[in-house]
Amino acid sequence: MAEQAQTKNNSAPPPPQRISEVISTEGLNINPRYFVSVPGIFKIVQWVLAVICIACAAPAVFPGAHWFLFVVVAFFIGSFVWMCVHFFSVTTIITSIPWLPIEMIYSTVGSVFYFIAAVVLLVQATDNKRKAVMIFIYGRSQWDAYIAAGVFGMFNCIVFGLEALFHLKAWKATTTTTTTTTTTTRNAT
């Protein structure tokens, strides 16, 4: 009995287990490797830039800043939803939905909306009348923060656009089909 206890204590511990690419539980697949893939990195960059935009543009003191914050927060939430969809492998569970073109459209719309919102914010923040009032009431730092928010919004516009191009290429790669041409000839007899 004492020999068995010594044998158990001297045995080596089991080797550490590696995290597999997809962890499966009943009906739910968790894919932590999504965040190191190209689309996952796009989503992380979008999130980081959105947080910077929100931090710079808040508080909103004129309509352009309100619109900018609305767009940033809406696509911040949308990107979170897409990250959850891919992290929990919903795309493999529900295969009847064309996920790739939908995400491509989402990224395209995000790029367009970010561009419009950033331009509106930059134009209104550099308007001399607004600038004078803003500097008088809020100080120069708020005006500078709006300029920074607009610039980071443009960066996020570019990231959304690159993601849309990535999804477009992936979608074209999955939808290419091979066509076979059959030619029949008749002998004239």
Alpha-carbon gap, residue 134 to 54, rounded angstroms:
18
Quick: pLDDT tens for 80-97: 999 999 999 898 888 899
- pLDDT reported for residue 12: 58
Q: What is the pLDDT of residue 93?
A: 87
How far is it, in rounded angstroms, from Cα 68 to Cα 75?
11
pLDDT band at 163 (very low <50, low <70, confident <90, very high): very high
| Two tokens, residue 66 | 């309100």
Residue 20 has pLDDT above 50, yes or no: no
Strand 28-30 relative to strand 23-25: parallel, antiparallel, unpaired?
Answer: antiparallel
d(CA 73, CA 35) in angstroms, rounded, equals 21
- What tokens were used for 182? 């059959």
3-state secondary structure the chain: CHHHHHHHHHCCCCCCCCCCCCEEECCEEECHHHHHCHHHHHHHHHHHHHHHHHHHHCCCCCHHHHHHHHHHHHHHHHHHHHHHHHHCCHHHHCCCCCHHHHHHHHHHHHHHHHHHHHHHHHHHHHCHHHHHHHHHHHCHHHHHHHHHHHHHHHHHHHHHHHHHHHHHHHHHHHHCCCCCCCCCCCCCC
Identify the pLDDT of residue 102: 95
Residue boundaries of the structural domains of the chain: 37-173
**Rounded to whole angstroms, how far apart are CA atoms 10 and 13?**
9
Question: What pLDDT shows up at residue 29?
Answer: 83
What CA–CA distance (Å, rounded) separates 161 from 163?
5
Confidence of residue 186 (pLDDT cuts 50, 70, 90): confident
Predicted TM-score of the model (pTM): 0.75
55 phi, psi to nearest 5 deg: -65, -35
- Say which residues have a Cβ less than 8 Å from residue 20's Cβ, sequence separation at least 6: none
